[in-house]
């Protein structure tokens, strides 16, 4: 089934569930019910809050209604007529949406609300399903019998329009697929995803934590997590050296003027920490590295012979994400960004953009990411001068440049309207983990506007000053988001090169502890990260504890090992132990580290 067909099915299912809710709970007031990934949700104000048991009743009633083959009957109304209709039905939230559409047009409507209303401010469409009538732009299925397999998954609280000053509704989440088989596949994936949840494994494997006294969304990286950060940064720096990047560092704060000049402050002020007043100046915590890099590029005159200039930084940024949006490592307020900016001529753009895509491919292969897709986000004409830089011709030209680069690099991609950065088209990189769970990892952007604001220039072959194009790229996203993904992708069983502890030593008894410590020092001196357990416990218990930490290799140290005989190696994921000499084992581990197997 095509995505569009599936989207129509899911939206029809949302209406069906709302119809069931209205039948079981008369007086319910309905907010919005948009399609989301794998299903839908519907925000409803019930006369009294419902329970999980009530959710099961709504699902059962929706299934009964689906079998009846109810139609989705469309009717158009003038907006004033629709306001009167829903006012009579006491559907306050629908009335508010319609009044906003009439008075303010579509500019004040969210994407979810647009699914209900559409963009016509003269007429709106209504759909009738059984006795339930909803405001919706459609389209819908012909009959409820065409809805495949669905399941209501959970209840959550949701403020009307996301504003905590508004009434709190109850949000019903559901998933919907074209068949029972597809639904079962999804449910199995979610069971596996629950086992791999980076929030649980992050705690179990002692990788990171949050603390109320530090603040929400501000992760504390433990030694194990810091190993992951350092190994990923080492990897990135090696590859960036190959591609001739220069590493820079910039401050954590800057004056307000910098972000006003770049244009970030008007667009992103709501996502930045509040300003600080120092020496009669206003400062902000850095939310992005770009303006700082522009300043470095602009410190002296550049010649075309220097181009391209590639500046990379593992810059620490701060974003004041809404508390309700914070989610483990995936959405935080303190982030280490794998960032770089490439300043190039227009003639160099395509080659440089393709080189960045090559980096993505390298990382995909290294981490075993087999399924990925680029999402080319373009401007929307209605947002010119407000949401986007006002230059339609340049938008069309640069979007075509990005499209050509994607085609030449043979990258799979889709195109979406009205989701670009304010300064140019961007690519969002969507990847799927080994169990098929989708993540939006990183971004790659073309900036045709901001370099000019900073008066960035180079002298071309003819001796004229030209403004460079800037490519923003972050193939490894932030350390936080990438590590969250890798925890789930590997289920915490990191490859040897990335594992916080690579070899764990277990002395058989107290008399073997000192000898095992000498072995530990030898491995440490060779560059291997070693764990050691000298607790007064049974060997079996020590092995079980190390196994739960998903350490690649466990070595029990007894008389034979101390006498120089072959070691018996417990290899993660293998039932049978392997026998080899100490030297051979060290060579193996160091080889896996070097080759990043």
Looking at every residue in the chain, the average pLDDT score rounds to 92
What confidence category does residue 402 fall into, taking pLDDT thresholds of 50, 70 and 90? confident
Distances (CA, A) of 350 to 162, 310, 403, 471: 41, 15, 10, 10
Give the model confidence (pLDDT) of 530-549 as tens digits: 999 988 899 999 999 999 99
**The predicted structure's pLDDT at residue 397:** 86
419: domain CATH number is 3.30.930.10
Whether residue 496 lies inside any domain: the answer is no
Same domain, 519 and 450: no
pLDDT at 309 over 90: yes
Whether residue 157 lies inside any domain: the answer is yes
Q: Of 184, 209, 241, which closes a domain?
A: 184
Whether residue 280 lies inside any domain: the answer is yes
Whether residue 196 lies inside any domain: the answer is no
Q: What mean pLDDT do residues 61-81 have? A: 94
Give the model confidence (pLDDT) of 322-373 as tens digits: 887 899 999 999 999 989 999 999 899 999 999 999 999 999 999 999 999 9
Whether residue 190 lies inside any domain: the answer is no
Same domain, 359 and 276: yes
Same domain, 128 and 205: no
Same domain, 321 and 386: yes
Whether residue 435 lies inside any domain: the answer is yes
Same domain, 299 and 432: yes
For the chain, what is the domain count? 3
Same domain, 485 and 540: no
Buried b (16+ CB within 10 A) or exposed e, 515-549: bbeebbeebeeeebbbbbbbeeeeeeebbebbeeb
Q: What is the DSSP string of 501-533?
A: --EEEEESSGGGHHHHHHHHHHHHHTT--EEE-
Same domain, 517 and 478: no
Same domain, 67 and 147: yes
Please classify residue 283 by burial: count the beta carbons closer than 10 Å to its beta carbon, then call 0-12 exposed, 13-18 middle and 19+ buried.
middle
47: domain CATH number is 3.30.980.10
pLDDT at 114 over 70: no
**The predicted structure's pLDDT at residue 106:** 55
Work out the percent of the chain whose per-residue pLDDT is above 90: 76
Same domain, 170 and 21: yes
- By the 8 A CB rule, do 570 and 543 touch? yes
Note the residue count of the chain: 597
**The predicted structure's pLDDT at residue 117:** 62
pLDDT at 121 over 70: no
Query: d(Cα 421, Cα 476) in Å, to the nearest integer?
Result: 19
Q: What mean pLDDT do residues 274-287 have? A: 94
**The predicted structure's pLDDT at residue 109:** 62
Q: What mean pLDDT do residues 451-474 have? A: 94
Give the model confidence (pLDDT) of 480-531 as tens digits: 999 999 999 999 999 999 999 999 999 999 999 999 999 999 999 999 999 9
Whether residue 46 lies inside any domain: the answer is yes
- Smallest Cα–Cα separation from 504: which of 555, 453, 566, 435? 555
**The predicted structure's pLDDT at residue 67:** 95
546: domain CATH number is 3.40.50.800
What confidence category does residue 29 fall into, taking pLDDT thresholds of 50, 70 and 90? very high
Please name the residues in contact with 38: beta carbons below 8 A apart, sequence gap of 6 or more. 175, 176, 177, 186
Across 214-228, 251-265, 386-400, 446-460, least confident range: 386-400
Q: What mean pLDDT do residues 239-249 have? A: 96
**The predicted structure's pLDDT at residue 536:** 87
Show the domain range for 414.
Answer: 201-489
Please name the residues in contact with 240: beta carbons below 8 A apart, sequence gap of 6 or more. 247, 310, 312, 340
Same domain, 522 and 428: no
pLDDT at 120 over 60: no
Q: What mean pLDDT do residues 194-216 have? A: 96
Q: What mean pLDDT do residues 279-301 have? A: 95
pLDDT at 285 over 90: yes
Q: Of 489, 511, 544, which closes a domain?
A: 489
Same domain, 447 and 573: no
pLDDT at 116 over 90: no
Query: d(Cα 575, Cα 557) in Å, to the nearest integer?
Result: 19
**The predicted structure's pLDDT at residue 538:** 92
Q: What mean pLDDT do residues 200-217 have? A: 96
Query: d(Cα 220, Cα 222) in Å, to the nearest integer?
Result: 6
17/426: higher pLDDT: 17
pLDDT at 579 over 90: yes
Same domain, 231 and 122: no
Whether residue 355 lies inside any domain: the answer is yes
Q: Of 489, 513, 540, which closes a domain?
A: 489
């Amino acid at each position: 089934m095509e995505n569009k067909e599936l989207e129509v099915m899911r939206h029809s299912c949302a209406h069906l569930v709302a119809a069931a809710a209205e039948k079981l709970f008369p007086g319910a007031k309905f907010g919005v019910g948009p399609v989301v990934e794998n299903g839908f949700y519907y925000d409803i104000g019930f006369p009294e809050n419902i329970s999980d048991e009530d959710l099961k009743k709504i699902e059962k009633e929706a299934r009964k209604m689906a079998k009846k083959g109810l139609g989705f009957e469309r009717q158009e109304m003038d907006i004033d007529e629709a306001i009167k209709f829903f006012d009579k039905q006491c559907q306050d939230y629908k009335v508010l949406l319609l009044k906003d559409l009439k008075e303010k047009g579509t500019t004040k409507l969210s994407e979810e609300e647009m699914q209900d209303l559409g963009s016509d401010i003269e007429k709106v469409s209504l759909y009738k399903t059984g006795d339930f009538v909803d405001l919706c732009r459609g389209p819908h299925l012909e009959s409820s019998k065409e809805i495949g397999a669905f399941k209501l998954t959970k209840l959550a609280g949701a403020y009307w329009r996301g504003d905590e000053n508004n009434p709190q509704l109850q949000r019903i989440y559901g998933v919907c697929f074209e068949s029972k088989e597809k639904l079962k596949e999804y449910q199995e994936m979610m069971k596996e995803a629950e086992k791999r949840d980076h929030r649980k494994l992050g705690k179990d494997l002692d990788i990171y934590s949050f603390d109320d006294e530090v603040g929400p969304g501000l992760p504390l990286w433990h030694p194990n997590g810091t190993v992951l950060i350092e190994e990923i940064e080492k990897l990135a720096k090696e590859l960036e050296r190959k591609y001739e990047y220069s590493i820079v560092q910039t401050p954590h704060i800057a004056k307000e003027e910098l972000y006003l000049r770049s244009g970030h402050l008007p667009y992103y002020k709501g996502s930045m920490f509040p300003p600080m007043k120092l020496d009669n100046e206003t400062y902000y915590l850095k939310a992005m590295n770009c303006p700082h890099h522009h300043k470095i590029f602009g410190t002296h005159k550049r010649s075309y012979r220097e181009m391209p200039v590639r500046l990379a930084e593992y810059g620490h940024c701060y974003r004041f994400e809404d508390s309700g949006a914070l989610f483990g490592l995936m959405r935080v307020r303190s982030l280490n960004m794998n960032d770089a900016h490439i300043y190039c001529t227009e003639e160099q753009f395509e080659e440089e953009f393709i080189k960045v895509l090559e980096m993505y491919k390298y990382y995909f292969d290294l981490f075993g990411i087999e399924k990925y897709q680029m999402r080319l986000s373009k401007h929307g004409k209605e947002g010119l001068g407000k949401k986007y830089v006002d230059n339609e011709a340049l938008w069309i030209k640069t979007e075509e440049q990005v499209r050509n680069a994607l085609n030449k690099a043979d990258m799979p991609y889709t195109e979406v309207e009205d989701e670009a950065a304010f300064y140019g088209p961007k690519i969002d990189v969507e990847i799927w983990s080994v169990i098929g769970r989708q993540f939006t990892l990183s971004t790659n952007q073309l900036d045709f506007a901001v370099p000019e604001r900073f008066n960035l220039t180079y002298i071309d072959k003819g001796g004229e000053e030209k403004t460079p194009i800037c490519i923003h790229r972050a193939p490894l996203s932030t350390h936080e988001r990438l590590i969250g993904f890798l925890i789930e992708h590997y289920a915490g069983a990191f490859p040897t090169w990335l594992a916080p502890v690579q070899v764990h030593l277990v002395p058989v008894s107290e008399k073997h502890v000192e000898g095992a410590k000498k072995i530990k020092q030898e491995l440490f001196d060779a560059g291997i990260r070693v764990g050691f357990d000298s607790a007064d416990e049974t060997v079996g218990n020590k092995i079980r504890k190390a196994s739960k930490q998903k350490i690649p290799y466990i070595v029990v140290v007894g008389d034979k090992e101390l006498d120089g005989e072959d070691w018996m190696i417990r290899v993660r994921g293998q039932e049978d132990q392997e026998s080899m000499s100490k030297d051979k084992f060290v060579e193996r581990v160091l080889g896996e580290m070097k080759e990043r197997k």
